[in-house]
Amino acid sequence: MARLASLAAICVVSIGSGQARAAAPTKLDFHRAASAQECPAEQQLRAAVVARLGHDPFAGEAHDALHVEISSDGGKLRGHFSLERDGREIGSQTLEATGTPAEHEAGHASSICDELVDALALEVALVFEAADATEAKAAAEPAAASPPAIAPPQPPPVAPAAPSPRPWSLWGSAGGRASVGSWAEAALAPEIGVEARRGFFGLGLDLRVDVIPTLDVGSARATLVRPSGSLLPCAHGRWIYGCAVATLGATVVHGIDVASSREASSPYAAFGGRAGLDLPLTARLHLLTFVEMVGVATPTTVRLDASDGVSPTVSSRAWDGAAGIMLAGSIF
Query: Which burial class, exposed, middle or buried, applies to 127 when counting CB atoms under 10 A from its CB (0-12, 13-18, 19+)?
Result: buried
CB 198 within 8 A of CB 233: no
Do residues 214 and 256 touch, judged by C-beta distance below 8 A? yes
Whole-angstrom distance, CA of residue 164 vs CA of residue 217: 57
Domains, the chain, ranges and CATH?
Answer: 2-137 (3.30.160), 169-330 (2.40.160.20)
| Per-residue model confidence (pLDDT) at position 50 | 86
- Would the CA dihedral through 196, 197, 201, 207 be positive or negative? positive
Q: What are phi and psi of 234, to 5 degrees?
A: -125, 155
First to last CA, the chain: 112
Say what the pLDDT of residue 229 is: 97
Residue 286 to residue 159: CA distance in whole angstroms: 35
Which 8-state DSSP code applies to residue 306? Answer: B
Strand partners, 65: 27, 84
* DSSP-assigned letter for residue 178: E
User: In a structure prediction context, what are the per-residue pLDDT tens digits for the chain, which is 332 residues long?
Assistant: 435 434 443 443 444 433 444 456 888 888 888 888 888 888 888 888 888 888 888 876 777 888 888 888 777 888 888 888 887 888 888 888 775 444 554 556 677 888 888 888 888 888 888 877 877 787 777 655 556 667 777 878 777 766 665 689 999 999 999 999 889 899 999 999 999 999 999 999 999 999 999 888 877 788 999 999 999 999 999 999 999 999 999 999 988 866 666 788 999 999 999 999 999 999 899 999 999 999 999 999 888 776 666 778 888 999 999 999 999 999 98
pLDDT at 21 (0 to 100): 45
Q: Which of 303, 316, 226 is nearest to 259 (CA)?
A: 303
- The SS3 call for residue 145 is coil
Check residue 99 and give its pLDDT. 59
Nearest to 249 by CA among 224, 223, 269: 269
Neighbours of 112 (CB within 10 A): 21
Per-residue confidence (pLDDT) for residue 5, from 0 to 100: 38
pLDDT of residue 65: 85
Cα 190 to Cα 278: distance, rounded to the nearest angstrom: 19
- Give the number of other CB atoms < 10 A from CB of residue 15: 16
Residue type, 243: C
